[in-house]
Amino acid sequence: MGLFENRGWRFVSFNTENFFVYLDETPLKDPLTMTDAEWSRLSRSTVDNKQLSKIRDIARAVDDLDPDILMLSEVGGRESLANFSTYFLRDRYATHLVEGNSDRGIDLGFLVKRSLPLTYDLISHKSRKLDFLYPHEKLSKETGYTHLRSGRVTGHRFSRDVLELRCYADPPAETSDGAQARPEFILMQVHLKSQLDKDRIDPGGRDRRKAELEMLVTIYGEVKAELSDVPIFIAGDFNGTISGPFEEPEFEAIRVSDLRCCLELAGIPQDERFTWMYLNNRRPGLSRQLDYILLQQSLKHRVDPENTWVYRFRDESGKYRMIPRNQNEKRTLPSDHYPVVLTLRPEVSVDETSIQSSAAVKPKLA
């Protein structure tokens, strides 16, 4: 058996919400000890850095969970990811990021423990064309009409990207026929089209999101056909609910696949799976699961149900923060999304001293 089978793993998927950590000069002291005023003076970017207290809270969550690999959404580029690891995580994590298609500069990125005996290939699918046109674009194409400003009608690409991290054992496992080493496992990260429709041409962004989801499933199928025996995980912010009482029609392609949510496989109750809340100060809010780690159903036996859950943030004293009741309370959280945690057990039971697992056991919120 290979490295993936022989040890436990912990993966975390987290939309960090406008996670910009720009520094125009080297901090003269530890940012963990700075005031908000000192922090704000370190960047002169036109994009505001994330509030220092919220960055500290996110770093505290990383320390608490001690993941092997973090899959992050809404990161402000490679600089932000590197600065976060260097100044807030004691440089324990290596950064992997490709700038995507976002017009807001929010990208997908991976933070991977430097201590892992792995090497990596990072593959972007941001240039893949979707089989999708908006209704007015279809009409323009059918009639041969070309707008002077927009030019010819072309296809669309992912709103952000599908970013693929192929993880190989280092040193690579020997093969009997001298063939190229195969990945131990593959992580795919996505941030699908949001529900915003500023142009009022796609209510709730549903049609575009459906097209992106179907291309994601196509990419998954291609990789699975190429590497049929390699475990594949798909994680990120899907901006909709895949399954359960609030499931949405645009995710049917996932529901008929062999991919399942880690929380479902762990038996987590529906009312504990929410990762995002719509809150209003005048009427009851809505709680939904928008964030997922999907894995092949054949790996269900590896999922640790006691340590797979939706993480609720802690405060400086280590106590879990209360679930917000209104928008004002929600703004105090480090992000408007909660992280999803997947913990995998080793394939077989062996002496614990032989498992170099970084997946520390953490209690769930009662």
pLDDT per residue of the chain (366 residues) written in tens, 0 to 9: 799 999 999 999 999 999 999 999 889 899 989 998 899 889 988 899 999 999 999 999 999 999 999 999 999 999 999 999 999 999 999 999 999 999 999 999 999 999 999 999 999 999 999 988 877 777 777 776 655 455 555 679 999 999 999 999 988 766 555 567 899 999 999 999 999 888 888 888 899 999 999 999 999 999 999 999 999 999 999 999 999 989 999 999 999 999 999 999 999 999 999 999 998 776 667 899 999 999 999 999 999 999 999 999 998 888 999 999 888 899 999 999 999 999 999 997 544 433 344 444 555 443
Give the whole-angstrom CA distance, residue 344 versus residue 308. 8
Whether 287 is in a domain gets the answer yes
Give the whole-angstrom CA distance, residue 300 versus residue 304. 9
Whether 361 is in a domain gets the answer no
Whether 362 is in a domain gets the answer no
Whether 359 is in a domain gets the answer no
Spatial CA neighbour of 9 closest among 71, 53, 54, 61: 71
- Structural domain count of the chain: 1
Which 8-state DSSP code applies to residue 182?
P
Spatial CA neighbour of 314 closest among 342, 338, 293: 338
Whether 360 is in a domain gets the answer no
Residue 291 backbone zone (phi > 0: left; psi -120 to 50: alpha; other: beta)? beta
Spatial CA neighbour of 99 closest among 135, 118, 124: 124
Whether 167 is in a domain gets the answer yes
Give the whole-angstrom CA distance, residue 215 versus residue 224. 14
Whether 234 is in a domain gets the answer yes
CATH number at residue 235: 3.60.10.10
Question: Residue 250, Cα to own-chain centre: how many angstroms?
Answer: 19
Q: Are 365 and 331 in contact (CB under 8 A)?
A: no
Domain hosting residue 127, numbered range: 3-354
CA angle 155, 218, 222 (to 5 degrees): 125
Spatial CA neighbour of 171 closest among 2, 9, 355: 2
Global confidence as pTM: 0.90
Instruction: Using the Cα atoms of residue 262, residue 266, residue 267 and residue 268 in order, give the sign of their dihedral.
Output: negative
Whether 108 is in a domain gets the answer yes
